[in-house]
Chain A
Amino acid sequence: MTDEKISQAEKDEAAYFAERAQAGAAAARSGTAASPEAHTLFDVQEMELNFGPQHPSTHGVLRLVLKVDGEKILEAKPDIGYLHRGTEKLFETETYPMGIPHTDRLDYVAAATNNHAFCLAVEKLLGVEIPRRAQLIRVILDELQRLSSHLVWLGTSGIDLGAVTPFWYAFREREQILDFFEEYCGARLTLNCMRIGGLPFDLTAGWTERVSEFLADLPARIDDYEQLLTDNRIWKKRTVGVGVISAEECVEWGLTGPIIRGSGLAWDLRRAQPYECYEELDFVVPTRQNGDTYDRYIVRVQEMRQSARILRQCLEKLEPGEIRGKVPRVIKPPAEEVYASIESPKGELGFYCVSNGTNKPYRMHVRPPSFINLQALPRLAKGHLVSDLVALIGTIDIVLGEVDR
Protein backbone atom coordinates (compact mmCIF):
# COMPACT_ATOMS: atom_id res chain seq x y z
CA MET A 1 0.00 0.00 0.00
CA THR A 2 1.08 3.54 -0.56
CA ASP A 3 1.57 5.89 2.36
CA GLU A 4 -1.67 7.72 1.54
CA LYS A 5 -3.63 4.52 1.55
CA ILE A 6 -2.09 3.54 4.86
CA SER A 7 -2.89 6.88 6.46
CA GLN A 8 -6.43 6.66 5.07
CA ALA A 9 -6.76 3.18 6.53
CA GLU A 10 -5.55 4.45 9.89
CA LYS A 11 -8.08 7.27 9.79
CA ASP A 12 -10.87 4.84 8.95
CA GLU A 13 -9.78 2.65 11.79
CA ALA A 14 -9.70 5.53 14.25
CA ALA A 15 -13.22 6.51 13.16
CA TYR A 16 -14.36 2.92 13.55
CA PHE A 17 -13.08 2.67 17.12
CA ALA A 18 -14.46 6.08 18.07
CA GLU A 19 -17.87 5.03 16.78
CA ARG A 20 -17.62 1.74 18.61
CA ALA A 21 -16.73 3.40 21.89
CA GLN A 22 -19.64 5.80 21.48
CA ALA A 23 -22.05 3.03 20.63
CA GLY A 24 -20.94 1.15 23.72
CA ALA A 25 -21.41 4.21 25.91
CA ALA A 26 -24.82 4.94 24.39
CA ALA A 27 -25.94 1.36 24.89
CA ALA A 28 -24.78 1.48 28.50
CA ARG A 29 -26.69 4.71 29.05
CA SER A 30 -29.91 3.36 27.63
CA GLY A 31 -29.48 0.16 29.61
CA THR A 32 -29.48 -2.11 26.56
CA ALA A 33 -25.81 -3.01 26.68
CA ALA A 34 -25.15 -5.23 23.74
CA SER A 35 -22.05 -6.04 21.81
CA PRO A 36 -22.15 -4.12 18.53
CA GLU A 37 -21.27 -7.28 16.68
CA ALA A 38 -23.87 -9.51 18.29
CA HIS A 39 -26.07 -11.05 15.64
CA THR A 40 -28.30 -14.04 15.42
CA LEU A 41 -27.26 -16.49 12.78
CA PHE A 42 -28.81 -19.54 14.34
CA ASP A 43 -31.91 -19.69 16.41
CA VAL A 44 -30.51 -21.32 19.50
CA GLN A 45 -32.41 -21.96 22.66
CA GLU A 46 -31.05 -20.76 25.97
CA MET A 47 -28.63 -23.07 27.59
CA GLU A 48 -26.65 -23.10 30.77
CA LEU A 49 -22.90 -23.15 30.56
CA ASN A 50 -20.52 -23.80 33.40
CA PHE A 51 -17.51 -21.52 33.22
CA GLY A 52 -14.77 -22.48 35.67
CA PRO A 53 -13.84 -23.03 38.47
CA GLN A 54 -10.89 -24.65 36.71
CA HIS A 55 -10.77 -22.29 33.77
CA PRO A 56 -7.42 -20.60 33.14
CA SER A 57 -8.97 -17.22 32.36
CA THR A 58 -10.72 -16.99 35.72
CA HIS A 59 -7.37 -16.36 37.45
CA GLY A 60 -8.09 -18.77 40.23
CA VAL A 61 -11.19 -20.62 41.27
CA LEU A 62 -14.07 -18.48 40.09
CA ARG A 63 -17.08 -20.34 38.81
CA LEU A 64 -19.63 -18.64 36.61
CA VAL A 65 -22.93 -20.15 35.67
CA LEU A 66 -23.80 -18.60 32.33
CA LYS A 67 -27.14 -18.53 30.66
CA VAL A 68 -26.33 -18.18 26.99
CA ASP A 69 -28.17 -17.85 23.74
CA GLY A 70 -25.59 -19.09 21.31
CA GLU A 71 -22.55 -16.98 22.07
CA LYS A 72 -24.51 -14.22 23.74
CA ILE A 73 -24.59 -14.04 27.52
CA LEU A 74 -28.07 -13.52 28.91
CA GLU A 75 -27.08 -13.92 32.52
CA ALA A 76 -23.89 -14.61 34.43
CA LYS A 77 -24.00 -15.82 38.00
CA PRO A 78 -20.72 -15.85 39.88
CA ASP A 79 -20.26 -18.68 42.36
CA ILE A 80 -17.44 -17.95 44.77
CA GLY A 81 -16.06 -19.35 47.99
CA TYR A 82 -13.78 -22.09 46.70
CA LEU A 83 -10.82 -20.43 48.39
CA HIS A 84 -12.50 -19.47 51.64
CA ARG A 85 -10.06 -20.03 54.48
CA GLY A 86 -11.81 -18.18 57.27
CA THR A 87 -9.16 -15.47 57.53
CA GLU A 88 -11.43 -13.22 59.56
CA LYS A 89 -11.99 -16.01 62.07
CA LEU A 90 -8.24 -16.58 62.30
CA PHE A 91 -7.62 -12.90 63.06
CA GLU A 92 -9.85 -13.20 66.10
CA THR A 93 -7.87 -16.06 67.59
CA GLU A 94 -4.41 -14.56 67.31
CA THR A 95 -2.73 -11.43 68.63
CA TYR A 96 -2.56 -8.32 66.50
CA PRO A 97 0.98 -8.81 65.12
CA MET A 98 0.17 -12.44 64.30
CA GLY A 99 -2.55 -11.27 61.95
CA ILE A 100 -0.19 -9.66 59.47
CA PRO A 101 1.01 -12.88 57.75
CA HIS A 102 -2.63 -13.85 57.15
CA THR A 103 -3.14 -10.68 55.17
CA ASP A 104 -0.41 -11.76 52.73
CA ARG A 105 -2.71 -14.54 51.64
CA LEU A 106 -5.64 -12.32 50.79
CA ASP A 107 -4.53 -10.55 47.63
CA TYR A 108 -1.47 -12.70 47.07
CA VAL A 109 -0.11 -10.69 44.16
CA ALA A 110 -0.13 -7.52 46.29
CA ALA A 111 0.85 -8.58 49.80
CA ALA A 112 2.54 -5.31 50.81
CA THR A 113 -0.62 -3.25 50.41
CA ASN A 114 -2.56 -5.79 52.47
CA ASN A 115 0.01 -5.62 55.27
CA HIS A 116 -0.17 -1.87 55.06
CA ALA A 117 -3.95 -1.66 55.39
CA PHE A 118 -3.96 -4.05 58.32
CA CYS A 119 -1.24 -2.13 60.14
CA LEU A 120 -2.94 1.18 59.44
CA ALA A 121 -6.15 -0.02 61.07
CA VAL A 122 -4.37 -1.15 64.23
CA GLU A 123 -2.22 1.98 64.32
CA LYS A 124 -5.31 4.13 64.05
CA LEU A 125 -6.79 2.24 66.97
CA LEU A 126 -3.60 2.71 69.00
CA GLY A 127 -2.97 6.28 67.86
CA VAL A 128 0.69 5.63 66.98
CA GLU A 129 2.86 8.04 65.02
CA ILE A 130 4.91 6.44 62.25
CA PRO A 131 8.45 7.78 61.76
CA ARG A 132 9.07 9.52 58.49
CA ARG A 133 11.56 7.03 57.14
CA ALA A 134 9.13 4.20 57.79
CA GLN A 135 6.38 6.14 56.00
CA LEU A 136 8.56 6.64 52.95
CA ILE A 137 9.69 3.02 52.83
CA ARG A 138 6.08 1.93 53.19
CA VAL A 139 5.11 4.06 50.24
CA ILE A 140 8.03 2.65 48.25
CA LEU A 141 6.96 -0.91 49.04
CA ASP A 142 3.35 -0.07 48.19
CA GLU A 143 4.20 1.43 44.85
CA LEU A 144 6.58 -1.38 43.91
CA GLN A 145 3.75 -3.72 44.79
CA ARG A 146 1.32 -1.73 42.68
CA LEU A 147 3.74 -1.97 39.76
CA SER A 148 4.13 -5.71 40.17
CA SER A 149 0.38 -6.23 40.59
CA HIS A 150 -0.37 -4.21 37.46
CA LEU A 151 2.33 -6.10 35.59
CA VAL A 152 0.70 -9.40 36.53
CA TRP A 153 -2.61 -7.97 35.39
CA LEU A 154 -1.12 -6.73 32.11
CA GLY A 155 0.55 -10.04 31.35
CA THR A 156 -2.31 -12.32 32.26
CA SER A 157 -5.17 -10.32 30.85
CA GLY A 158 -3.18 -9.98 27.64
CA ILE A 159 -2.75 -13.73 27.48
CA ASP A 160 -6.48 -14.18 28.10
CA LEU A 161 -7.18 -12.23 24.94
CA GLY A 162 -4.49 -13.92 22.89
CA ALA A 163 -1.74 -11.34 23.26
CA VAL A 164 0.97 -13.67 24.50
CA THR A 165 3.97 -11.43 23.91
CA PRO A 166 3.40 -8.73 26.60
CA PHE A 167 3.26 -11.45 29.23
CA TRP A 168 6.96 -12.27 28.87
CA TYR A 169 7.99 -8.63 29.06
CA ALA A 170 5.70 -7.84 31.98
CA PHE A 171 6.88 -10.82 33.99
CA ARG A 172 10.51 -9.96 33.28
CA GLU A 173 10.04 -6.64 35.09
CA ARG A 174 7.89 -8.17 37.77
CA GLU A 175 10.68 -10.63 38.48
CA GLN A 176 13.02 -7.72 39.17
CA ILE A 177 10.51 -6.22 41.61
CA LEU A 178 10.13 -9.56 43.36
CA ASP A 179 13.91 -9.67 43.67
CA PHE A 180 13.78 -6.30 45.41
CA PHE A 181 11.23 -7.66 47.84
CA GLU A 182 13.30 -10.77 48.37
CA GLU A 183 16.30 -8.66 49.20
CA TYR A 184 14.27 -6.51 51.55
CA CYS A 185 12.37 -9.11 53.54
CA GLY A 186 13.38 -12.53 52.26
CA ALA A 187 10.05 -13.34 50.66
CA ARG A 188 8.82 -12.80 47.13
CA LEU A 189 5.07 -13.11 47.41
CA THR A 190 3.94 -13.55 51.00
CA LEU A 191 6.01 -10.62 52.17
CA ASN A 192 4.93 -9.93 55.74
CA CYS A 193 6.94 -6.75 55.24
CA MET A 194 5.26 -4.33 57.66
CA ARG A 195 4.77 -4.22 61.39
CA ILE A 196 2.34 -2.37 63.57
CA GLY A 197 4.03 0.98 64.10
CA GLY A 198 6.56 0.71 61.29
CA LEU A 199 8.70 -1.81 59.51
CA PRO A 200 10.53 -4.98 60.47
CA PHE A 201 13.84 -4.12 58.79
CA ASP A 202 15.70 -1.19 57.37
CA LEU A 203 16.72 -1.24 53.72
CA THR A 204 19.82 -3.22 52.81
CA ALA A 205 22.88 -1.40 51.48
CA GLY A 206 22.61 -0.56 47.80
CA TRP A 207 18.90 -1.39 47.61
CA THR A 208 17.82 2.15 46.76
CA GLU A 209 20.45 2.39 44.02
CA ARG A 210 19.25 -0.83 42.44
CA VAL A 211 15.65 0.34 42.57
CA SER A 212 16.69 3.65 41.02
CA GLU A 213 18.41 1.82 38.19
CA PHE A 214 15.30 -0.23 37.61
CA LEU A 215 13.17 2.91 37.61
CA ALA A 216 15.44 4.59 35.09
CA ASP A 217 14.69 1.77 32.66
CA LEU A 218 11.03 1.45 33.49
CA PRO A 219 9.45 4.21 31.33
CA ALA A 220 11.06 2.70 28.23
CA ARG A 221 9.78 -0.72 29.25
CA ILE A 222 6.26 0.63 29.69
CA ASP A 223 6.59 2.19 26.24
CA ASP A 224 7.38 -1.31 24.99
CA TYR A 225 4.18 -2.75 26.46
CA GLU A 226 2.20 0.12 25.03
CA GLN A 227 3.75 -0.43 21.64
CA LEU A 228 2.54 -4.00 21.77
CA LEU A 229 -1.00 -3.22 22.86
CA THR A 230 -2.18 0.39 22.81
CA ASP A 231 -2.58 0.78 19.06
CA ASN A 232 -2.82 -2.91 18.35
CA ARG A 233 -6.03 -3.29 16.36
CA ILE A 234 -6.74 -6.81 17.61
CA TRP A 235 -6.34 -5.64 21.21
CA LYS A 236 -8.61 -2.68 20.51
CA LYS A 237 -11.22 -4.83 18.83
CA ARG A 238 -11.32 -7.04 21.89
CA THR A 239 -11.48 -4.19 24.40
CA VAL A 240 -12.97 -0.97 22.99
CA GLY A 241 -16.66 -0.71 23.90
CA VAL A 242 -16.58 -3.93 25.95
CA GLY A 243 -17.96 -3.76 29.47
CA VAL A 244 -18.92 -0.10 29.49
CA ILE A 245 -19.96 1.29 32.86
CA SER A 246 -20.62 4.90 33.80
CA ALA A 247 -19.18 6.69 36.82
CA GLU A 248 -22.63 6.88 38.47
CA GLU A 249 -23.09 3.17 38.10
CA CYS A 250 -19.59 2.56 39.44
CA VAL A 251 -20.57 4.41 42.61
CA GLU A 252 -23.83 2.49 42.80
CA TRP A 253 -22.01 -0.84 42.53
CA GLY A 254 -19.24 0.28 44.86
CA LEU A 255 -16.58 -0.17 42.20
CA THR A 256 -13.25 1.41 43.09
CA GLY A 257 -9.73 1.57 41.81
CA PRO A 258 -8.86 1.68 38.11
CA ILE A 259 -12.47 0.81 37.21
CA ILE A 260 -13.96 4.01 38.61
CA ARG A 261 -11.08 6.06 37.22
CA GLY A 262 -11.57 4.47 33.80
CA SER A 263 -15.14 5.80 33.93
CA GLY A 264 -14.02 9.37 34.51
CA LEU A 265 -14.12 9.86 38.27
CA ALA A 266 -10.68 10.87 39.55
CA TRP A 267 -11.10 9.18 42.91
CA ASP A 268 -8.02 7.72 44.46
CA LEU A 269 -7.66 7.26 48.21
CA ARG A 270 -4.01 8.30 47.98
CA ARG A 271 -5.33 11.68 46.91
CA ALA A 272 -8.78 11.83 48.53
CA GLN A 273 -7.79 10.67 52.02
CA PRO A 274 -3.98 10.62 52.03
CA TYR A 275 -2.25 8.24 54.39
CA GLU A 276 1.47 8.05 55.22
CA CYS A 277 3.17 10.81 53.18
CA TYR A 278 1.14 10.74 49.97
CA GLU A 279 -0.06 14.32 50.41
CA GLU A 280 3.43 15.71 49.85
CA LEU A 281 4.08 13.60 46.76
CA ASP A 282 3.48 14.92 43.30
CA PHE A 283 1.48 12.58 41.11
CA VAL A 284 -1.51 12.60 38.78
CA VAL A 285 -4.61 10.46 39.16
CA PRO A 286 -5.10 9.21 35.60
CA THR A 287 -8.65 9.02 34.31
CA ARG A 288 -10.41 8.15 31.07
CA GLN A 289 -13.95 8.89 29.98
CA ASN A 290 -15.46 5.91 28.16
CA GLY A 291 -15.40 3.40 30.99
CA ASP A 292 -14.71 0.41 28.77
CA THR A 293 -12.10 -2.32 29.02
CA TYR A 294 -9.69 -0.39 26.83
CA ASP A 295 -9.87 2.70 29.05
CA ARG A 296 -9.26 0.65 32.15
CA TYR A 297 -6.20 -0.75 30.41
CA ILE A 298 -4.94 2.78 29.66
CA VAL A 299 -5.61 3.89 33.23
CA ARG A 300 -3.59 1.01 34.65
CA VAL A 301 -0.68 1.67 32.31
CA GLN A 302 -0.73 5.35 33.27
CA GLU A 303 -0.84 4.36 36.92
CA MET A 304 2.33 2.36 36.43
CA ARG A 305 4.03 5.49 35.11
CA GLN A 306 2.75 7.47 38.09
CA SER A 307 3.96 4.80 40.50
CA ALA A 308 7.43 5.11 39.01
CA ARG A 309 7.19 8.86 39.51
CA ILE A 310 6.16 8.46 43.17
CA LEU A 311 8.95 5.97 43.72
CA ARG A 312 11.56 8.34 42.34
CA GLN A 313 10.38 11.12 44.67
CA CYS A 314 10.37 8.83 47.70
CA LEU A 315 13.86 7.56 46.99
CA GLU A 316 15.06 11.15 46.82
CA LYS A 317 13.39 12.03 50.11
CA LEU A 318 14.81 9.05 52.00
CA GLU A 319 16.96 10.03 54.94
CA PRO A 320 18.37 7.95 57.77
CA GLY A 321 16.09 7.64 60.75
CA GLU A 322 13.90 5.44 62.86
CA ILE A 323 11.85 2.75 61.18
CA ARG A 324 9.53 1.92 64.05
CA GLY A 325 7.27 4.13 66.10
CA LYS A 326 6.72 3.85 69.82
CA VAL A 327 4.54 0.80 70.11
CA PRO A 328 4.12 -1.14 73.34
CA ARG A 329 5.52 -4.66 73.29
CA VAL A 330 2.14 -6.13 74.02
CA ILE A 331 -0.41 -4.49 71.79
CA LYS A 332 -3.65 -3.90 73.66
CA PRO A 333 -5.65 -1.19 71.91
CA PRO A 334 -8.51 0.56 73.67
CA ALA A 335 -11.94 -1.05 73.38
CA GLU A 336 -12.97 0.90 70.30
CA GLU A 337 -13.55 0.41 66.60
CA VAL A 338 -11.95 1.93 63.52
CA TYR A 339 -12.08 1.55 59.78
CA ALA A 340 -8.90 2.25 57.81
CA SER A 341 -8.53 1.89 54.09
CA ILE A 342 -5.88 2.36 51.45
CA GLU A 343 -5.76 2.43 47.68
CA SER A 344 -4.64 -1.08 46.83
CA PRO A 345 -3.85 -1.91 43.19
CA LYS A 346 -7.41 -3.21 42.85
CA GLY A 347 -9.30 -0.46 44.62
CA GLU A 348 -10.30 0.42 48.15
CA LEU A 349 -8.93 -2.10 50.60
CA GLY A 350 -10.28 -1.51 54.08
CA PHE A 351 -9.96 -3.13 57.47
CA TYR A 352 -12.67 -2.70 60.08
CA CYS A 353 -11.16 -3.49 63.44
CA VAL A 354 -13.12 -3.89 66.67
CA SER A 355 -11.16 -4.20 69.88
CA ASN A 356 -12.40 -5.27 73.28
CA GLY A 357 -9.27 -4.16 75.08
CA THR A 358 -7.45 -7.50 74.94
CA ASN A 359 -4.41 -8.40 72.88
CA LYS A 360 -6.53 -10.06 70.20
CA PRO A 361 -8.91 -8.30 67.81
CA TYR A 362 -12.50 -8.96 68.76
CA ARG A 363 -13.48 -8.64 65.14
CA MET A 364 -11.37 -7.87 62.10
CA HIS A 365 -13.30 -7.47 58.91
CA VAL A 366 -11.73 -7.08 55.49
CA ARG A 367 -13.37 -4.92 52.87
CA PRO A 368 -11.77 -6.44 49.81
CA PRO A 369 -11.90 -4.51 46.53
CA SER A 370 -12.02 -7.68 44.41
CA PHE A 371 -15.11 -9.04 46.18
CA ILE A 372 -17.10 -5.87 45.67
CA ASN A 373 -15.82 -5.31 42.14
CA LEU A 374 -16.65 -8.87 41.10
CA GLN A 375 -20.23 -8.25 42.12
CA ALA A 376 -20.69 -6.03 39.06
CA LEU A 377 -19.50 -8.71 36.63
CA PRO A 378 -23.05 -9.89 35.75
CA ARG A 379 -23.95 -6.29 34.97
CA LEU A 380 -20.87 -5.85 32.76
CA ALA A 381 -21.22 -9.20 31.01
CA LYS A 382 -24.89 -9.01 30.12
CA GLY A 383 -25.39 -8.89 26.36
CA HIS A 384 -21.76 -9.55 25.53
CA LEU A 385 -20.26 -12.63 23.93
CA VAL A 386 -18.73 -15.44 25.93
CA SER A 387 -15.25 -14.53 24.73
CA ASP A 388 -15.79 -10.96 25.96
CA LEU A 389 -16.42 -12.40 29.41
CA VAL A 390 -12.77 -13.39 29.49
CA ALA A 391 -11.82 -9.77 28.78
CA LEU A 392 -14.18 -8.61 31.53
CA ILE A 393 -12.81 -10.96 34.18
CA GLY A 394 -9.38 -9.67 33.25
CA THR A 395 -10.38 -6.02 33.37
CA ILE A 396 -11.90 -6.25 36.86
CA ASP A 397 -8.56 -7.65 38.01
CA ILE A 398 -9.80 -10.01 40.68
CA VAL A 399 -7.69 -12.14 42.94
CA LEU A 400 -9.71 -14.97 44.34
CA GLY A 401 -7.72 -15.12 47.56
CA GLU A 402 -9.17 -11.74 48.35
CA VAL A 403 -12.66 -12.47 47.08
CA ASP A 404 -13.04 -15.59 49.21
CA ARG A 405 -10.75 -14.71 52.11
Chain B
Amino acid sequence: MADLEKAPAEEKKPRPGAVDASGHPWVQAIRAALPDTVVSAKEFAGQVTVVVQKDAIARVARHLKDGQDFKYCVDVTAVDWKDRSPRFEVVYHFYSFSKNARIRVKCAAADGEDVPSIAAVFLSANWCERETWDMFGIKFSGHPDLRRILTWEGFNGFPLRKDFPLEGIDTGAAVYPEEWPEGGGPSQKDSNRKVVS
Protein backbone atom coordinates (compact mmCIF):
# COMPACT_ATOMS: atom_id res chain seq x y z
CA MET B 1 0.00 0.00 0.00
CA ALA B 2 2.97 2.28 0.55
CA ASP B 3 3.56 3.00 -3.13
CA LEU B 4 -0.14 3.69 -3.63
CA GLU B 5 0.01 6.72 -1.40
CA LYS B 6 3.11 8.09 -3.02
CA ALA B 7 2.06 10.75 -5.47
CA PRO B 8 4.02 11.05 -8.75
CA ALA B 9 6.56 13.84 -8.76
CA GLU B 10 5.15 15.89 -11.65
CA GLU B 11 1.92 16.57 -9.77
CA LYS B 12 3.67 18.95 -7.42
CA LYS B 13 3.27 21.99 -9.62
CA PRO B 14 2.53 25.20 -7.73
CA ARG B 15 -0.89 26.63 -8.25
CA PRO B 16 -1.62 30.32 -7.73
CA GLY B 17 -3.77 30.77 -4.68
CA ALA B 18 -6.34 33.47 -4.09
CA VAL B 19 -5.28 37.01 -4.86
CA ASP B 20 -6.58 40.26 -3.50
CA ALA B 21 -9.28 41.72 -5.74
CA SER B 22 -9.84 45.11 -4.13
CA GLY B 23 -8.91 46.77 -7.39
CA HIS B 24 -11.47 44.84 -9.40
CA PRO B 25 -13.90 47.20 -11.18
CA TRP B 26 -17.00 45.54 -9.64
CA VAL B 27 -15.57 45.84 -6.15
CA GLN B 28 -14.61 49.46 -6.74
CA ALA B 29 -18.09 50.19 -8.04
CA ILE B 30 -19.60 48.77 -4.84
CA ARG B 31 -17.14 50.85 -2.82
CA ALA B 32 -18.06 53.98 -4.75
CA ALA B 33 -21.81 53.47 -4.46
CA LEU B 34 -21.89 52.21 -0.88
CA PRO B 35 -18.87 53.42 1.11
CA ASP B 36 -17.76 51.40 4.15
CA THR B 37 -19.60 48.24 3.11
CA VAL B 38 -16.82 46.18 1.55
CA VAL B 39 -14.73 44.30 4.10
CA SER B 40 -12.44 42.41 1.73
CA ALA B 41 -12.31 41.00 -1.78
CA LYS B 42 -10.41 38.14 -3.37
CA GLU B 43 -10.19 36.29 -6.62
CA PHE B 44 -9.61 32.58 -7.03
CA ALA B 45 -9.92 30.46 -10.19
CA GLY B 46 -11.35 33.49 -11.97
CA GLN B 47 -14.14 33.91 -9.41
CA VAL B 48 -14.50 37.17 -7.52
CA THR B 49 -15.59 37.01 -3.89
CA VAL B 50 -16.58 40.15 -2.02
CA VAL B 51 -17.13 40.14 1.72
CA VAL B 52 -19.47 42.90 2.82
CA GLN B 53 -20.98 44.16 6.04
CA LYS B 54 -23.94 42.05 7.10
CA ASP B 55 -26.31 44.98 7.59
CA ALA B 56 -25.59 46.31 4.12
CA ILE B 57 -26.28 43.09 2.23
CA ALA B 58 -29.71 44.11 0.95
CA ARG B 59 -28.32 47.43 -0.27
CA VAL B 60 -25.37 45.70 -1.91
CA ALA B 61 -27.78 43.30 -3.63
CA ARG B 62 -29.89 46.21 -4.83
CA HIS B 63 -26.81 48.01 -6.08
CA LEU B 64 -25.55 44.91 -7.92
CA LYS B 65 -28.94 44.40 -9.50
CA ASP B 66 -29.68 47.95 -10.59
CA GLY B 67 -26.23 49.51 -10.73
CA GLN B 68 -24.10 46.69 -12.12
CA ASP B 69 -26.68 44.62 -13.98
CA PHE B 70 -26.33 41.44 -11.91
CA LYS B 71 -29.97 40.64 -12.55
CA TYR B 72 -30.04 36.96 -11.74
CA CYS B 73 -29.62 35.72 -8.18
CA VAL B 74 -28.24 32.23 -8.70
CA ASP B 75 -28.11 31.00 -5.18
CA VAL B 76 -28.12 31.84 -1.49
CA THR B 77 -26.58 29.52 1.05
CA ALA B 78 -24.38 29.53 4.13
CA VAL B 79 -21.30 27.93 5.61
CA ASP B 80 -20.98 27.03 9.27
CA TRP B 81 -17.45 27.88 10.47
CA LYS B 82 -17.96 26.36 13.87
CA ASP B 83 -14.80 27.66 15.50
CA ARG B 84 -14.78 31.10 13.96
CA SER B 85 -16.39 34.18 15.28
CA PRO B 86 -18.85 35.19 13.88
CA ARG B 87 -19.86 31.64 13.25
CA PHE B 88 -21.72 31.74 9.93
CA GLU B 89 -20.98 33.01 6.49
CA VAL B 90 -23.97 33.68 4.24
CA VAL B 91 -23.00 33.26 0.60
CA TYR B 92 -24.78 34.81 -2.37
CA HIS B 93 -24.10 34.18 -6.06
CA PHE B 94 -25.22 36.67 -8.68
CA TYR B 95 -24.96 36.45 -12.44
CA SER B 96 -24.98 39.21 -15.02
CA PHE B 97 -26.25 38.43 -18.51
CA SER B 98 -24.60 41.48 -20.07
CA LYS B 99 -21.20 40.73 -18.50
CA ASN B 100 -21.64 36.96 -18.71
CA ALA B 101 -20.00 36.76 -15.31
CA ARG B 102 -20.70 35.75 -11.76
CA ILE B 103 -19.91 37.45 -8.50
CA ARG B 104 -19.93 35.91 -5.05
CA VAL B 105 -20.93 38.08 -2.13
CA LYS B 106 -20.52 36.96 1.44
CA CYS B 107 -21.36 38.34 4.84
CA ALA B 108 -20.63 37.04 8.30
CA ALA B 109 -23.32 36.44 10.89
CA ALA B 110 -23.07 35.26 14.47
CA ASP B 111 -25.34 32.59 15.88
CA GLY B 112 -28.75 34.12 16.57
CA GLU B 113 -28.09 37.25 14.54
CA ASP B 114 -30.51 38.36 11.84
CA VAL B 115 -29.36 38.93 8.29
CA PRO B 116 -31.35 41.37 6.14
CA SER B 117 -33.38 39.47 3.57
CA ILE B 118 -32.82 40.07 -0.14
CA ALA B 119 -36.10 38.36 -1.10
CA ALA B 120 -37.58 41.77 -1.87
CA VAL B 121 -34.76 42.48 -4.32
CA PHE B 122 -34.61 39.06 -5.98
CA LEU B 123 -37.74 36.89 -6.00
CA SER B 124 -35.63 33.80 -6.51
CA ALA B 125 -33.86 34.33 -3.18
CA ASN B 126 -37.08 33.56 -1.32
CA TRP B 127 -36.79 29.79 -1.14
CA CYS B 128 -33.01 29.87 -0.91
CA GLU B 129 -33.25 31.96 2.25
CA ARG B 130 -35.92 29.67 3.62
CA GLU B 131 -33.61 26.73 3.02
CA THR B 132 -30.72 28.53 4.70
CA TRP B 133 -32.93 29.22 7.72
CA ASP B 134 -34.06 25.62 7.76
CA MET B 135 -30.58 24.14 7.49
CA PHE B 136 -28.51 26.61 9.52
CA GLY B 137 -30.93 28.55 11.68
CA ILE B 138 -29.94 31.91 10.26
CA LYS B 139 -32.88 34.30 10.42
CA PHE B 140 -33.47 36.68 7.56
CA SER B 141 -35.17 39.83 8.75
CA GLY B 142 -37.79 41.18 6.41
CA HIS B 143 -38.36 37.86 4.68
CA PRO B 144 -42.04 37.56 3.67
CA ASP B 145 -42.49 33.91 4.62
CA LEU B 146 -39.62 32.53 6.67
CA ARG B 147 -40.78 28.98 7.36
CA ARG B 148 -38.89 25.71 7.23
CA ILE B 149 -38.89 24.26 3.77
CA LEU B 150 -37.17 20.87 3.59
CA THR B 151 -37.75 19.68 7.13
CA TRP B 152 -41.13 19.99 8.75
CA GLU B 153 -42.54 22.71 10.95
CA GLY B 154 -41.62 21.91 14.52
CA PHE B 155 -38.41 20.10 13.61
CA ASN B 156 -35.94 20.73 16.39
CA GLY B 157 -32.46 21.48 15.12
CA PHE B 158 -30.56 22.75 12.11
CA PRO B 159 -29.16 19.81 10.13
CA LEU B 160 -26.28 21.47 8.30
CA ARG B 161 -24.72 22.94 11.41
CA LYS B 162 -21.49 21.17 12.16
CA ASP B 163 -22.65 20.18 15.64
CA PHE B 164 -25.77 18.43 14.33
CA PRO B 165 -25.07 14.68 14.43
CA LEU B 166 -24.89 12.88 11.11
CA GLU B 167 -27.09 10.06 12.34
CA GLY B 168 -29.81 12.59 13.13
CA ILE B 169 -31.69 13.30 16.30
CA ASP B 170 -34.71 11.69 17.87
CA THR B 171 -37.36 14.20 16.99
CA GLY B 172 -40.22 12.16 18.39
CA ALA B 173 -42.05 13.04 15.21
CA ALA B 174 -43.41 9.57 14.67
CA VAL B 175 -44.86 9.24 18.14
CA TYR B 176 -47.74 11.28 19.50
CA PRO B 177 -48.73 9.43 22.66
CA GLU B 178 -51.44 11.92 23.49
CA GLU B 179 -53.09 11.29 20.13
CA TRP B 180 -52.21 7.77 19.08
CA PRO B 181 -52.58 5.09 21.74
CA GLU B 182 -49.55 3.01 22.46
CA GLY B 183 -49.74 -0.35 20.74
CA GLY B 184 -51.85 0.96 17.88
CA GLY B 185 -55.51 1.64 17.37
CA PRO B 186 -57.60 4.60 16.27
CA SER B 187 -56.77 8.11 17.38
CA GLN B 188 -58.49 9.42 20.45
CA LYS B 189 -59.34 12.57 18.56
CA ASP B 190 -60.92 10.75 15.63
CA SER B 191 -64.64 11.41 15.94
CA ASN B 192 -65.45 8.52 13.62
CA ARG B 193 -63.58 5.94 15.59
CA LYS B 194 -65.38 2.80 16.53
CA VAL B 195 -64.23 1.14 19.67
CA VAL B 196 -65.05 -2.53 19.72
CA SER B 197 -65.32 -3.75 23.23
Contact = CB atoms under 8 A, between A and B. Distances in A.
B74 A348 contact: yes
Interface in B5-49: 5, 7-8, 10-11, 15, 17-18, 44-45, 47, 49
B159 A326 contact: no
20 contacts: A80-B149, A86-B159, A88-B135, A88-B160, A93-B166, A125-B45, A251-B97, A252-B71, A252-B122, A254-B123, A326-B8, A328-B7, A329-B4, A329-B5, A336-B44, A337-B49, A338-B47, A341-B74, A350-B75, A363-B79
A36 interface: no
Contacts, number: 100
B126 interface: yes
B79 A81 contact: no
Contacts of A81: 148-152
Interface of A: 80-81, 84, 86, 88-90, 93, 124-125, 127, 251-254, 265, 267, 272-273, 326-330, 334, 336-339, 341, 348, 350, 352, 354, 362-363, 365, 367, 371-372, 375, 404-405
A339 B128 CA distance: 16
Residue with the greatest number of chain B CB neighbours at <10 A, chosen from A80, A90, A124, A375: A375
A124 B17 CA distance: 12
A375 B127 contact: yes
B73 interface: yes
A327 B8 CA distance: 10
Interface of B: 4-5, 7-8, 10-11, 15, 17-18, 44-45, 47, 49, 71-75, 77, 79-80, 91, 93, 97, 100, 102, 104, 122-124, 126-128, 131, 135, 148-152, 159-160, 164, 166
A362 B166 CA distance: 14
A352 B15 CA distance: 20
A336 B150 contact: no
B8 A251 contact: no
A254 B18 CA distance: 29
A329 B93 CA distance: 31
- Identify the 6 closest CB pairs spanning chains A and B, nearest first: A254-B124, A81-B150, A367-B75, A84-B150, A365-B77, A375-B127
A371 B134 CA distance: 15
Contacts of A339: 47, 74-75, 93, 102, 104
A348 to B, nearest CB: 7
Contacts of A254: 72-74, 122-124
A89 B160 contact: yes
B131 to A, nearest CB: 8
